[in-house]
Amino acid sequence: MINKRLNIAIVGLGNIGSYLFNYLIKNKKILTEKNNCIPIVKYVSAKNINKKRNIKVKKNQWLKNYLDATKIKKIDLIIELIGGAEGAAKKLVFNALKNKKHVITANKALIAKYGNQLSKIAEKNKVNLEFEASVCGGVPIIRSLKEGLIANKISKIYGIFNGTSNYILSSMDKENKNFKEVLLKAKKLGYAESNPSADLNGDDVSSKLKILSSLCFNSFLNDNVYVEGIKEIDKTDIDNANKLGYKIKLLGFAELLNNKIYQRVHPTLIKKESYVASIDGVLNAVIVDAIPVGQSSIQGEGAGAAATTSALVSDISSILRGNVKFPFSISSKERKYLKFNKIDERLFSAYLRFEVLDKPGVLSNITNIFSKNKVSIKRLLQNPDKNKQGASIIIVTHKSKNKFLTKILGEVTKKKYIKKKPKLIRIDEV
């Protein structure tokens, strides 16, 4: 007979919280059998108690004040599903850990911003802080880094970490639609929020990358991330990429080069035949380069109630088994402050697009600017406008330092023959 119990409080009852509540009720028996401990949803809390939800909550299960979950002695575990790096979520998690409660969260913004502080509190009080669901939904990358790849020295982690941006870029390609059309469809399908700015400007990927980088390199979370989103990518860039043998993906990279870490998020041209290029729709994919395992990859649904619940239950099961672990795999005393390099010194090949007036000397002026900055041109295409008033010049470069590429972009932008803001998209061999 199993007598061991784990009393749980779920704070936040949106789509994910409600789905998780129902899952734990329906699957209580199997979770008990697998983990030799009974998971009991003792309390719940939500901003709007009267909101219609597809769950049956008893009156005595409701907490009027969400912070009461941190004070009630019989609560062992608090699951934070409020969201956001500040406000209620921050208060709840800090107070819970200080009061020696285990915490599970899907909140990447909170972990990315306060993970260093929170992990120290969890370690001091010998409780768990688990956040599998904070990165790539149902893709079990956090636990893979903490446990499955523990024998490996990781040199690089990269991939598609945001389903919304991936859906938009792949749909623009496959459906021959522009950015605004695809974004509207994504909102209607529930793939994009009413305000999708964090997905589109790269901030969502940046938060996830910080967490992954810290786990890979046993370092403290660091805000030194170069970030570009996909708002400037248009159908012309998608078409040009295809002609050149590439696909455009919003990728996150964390890599250790010469004992320095580069963290970057930006649209990237990758070869059509590469594995990452085949990841379409709302799927996420994570690739790890390590010794001795070599390269390993994992893909799956990056968001949604079902995928997120899968990750949350994985964390719950770990706690049910009594596995008290360091939040970032090793103790805070052993984590390092590594030097983080800016992207300026990183070598890239690049795609640059210039929309120009059709005038004599324009092309030679542009190529002279490239020559002056010691950037070698690998390929050049010139496409006239249909109205014959201008032309599109596409240049693919050999590898050069990022600072020289951006300098070229800045210099050409100032020229009077430029009709539209020039584009620079980096090329990566993945």
Place of tokens 């020229």: 415
> For the chain, how long is the longest CA-to-CA vector?
87
The rounded mean pLDDT for the chain is 92
Task: Report the C-alpha gap between 126 and 123 in whole angstroms.
Answer: 5
Q: 104, 134, 164: which is the final residue of a domain?
A: 134
Q: 105, 134, 163: which is the final residue of a domain?
A: 134
Q: From the candidates 208, 210, 247, 423, give the one annotated as an active-site residue.
A: 208
Active site residue 208: yes
Domain that holds residue 116: 5-134
Specify burial of residue 56 (Cβ count, 10 A radius: 0-12, 13-18, 19+): exposed
Which residues of the chain register pLDDT less than 70? Answer: 1, 3, 387-388
Q: DSSP readout, 216-266?
A: HHTB------EE--STT--HHHHHHHHHHTEEEEEEEEEEEETTEEEEEEE
Residues shown for the chain: 430
410 occurs within a structural domain: yes
Tell me which H or E stretch contains 44: strand 38-45
Does 164 lie in the same domain as 86?
no
Q: What is the pLDDT of residue 403?
A: 95
Place of tokens 């803001």: 421
Q: What is the pLDDT of residue 277?
A: 96
Which CATH number belongs to the domain containing residue 269 in this structure? 3.30.360.10
Does 95 lie in the same domain as 30?
yes
Q: What is the pLDDT of residue 131?
A: 96
Q: What is the pLDDT of residue 1?
A: 61
173 occurs within a structural domain: yes
Count how many domains the chain has: 3
Q: 95, 111, 134: which is the final residue of a domain?
A: 134
318 occurs within a structural domain: no
Does 181 lie in the same domain as 117?
no
Are the C-beta atoms of 44 and 77 separated by less than 8 Å? no
Q: What is the pLDDT of residue 388?
A: 66
CA 119 to chain centre: 20
Does 124 lie in the same domain as 65?
yes
217 occurs within a structural domain: yes
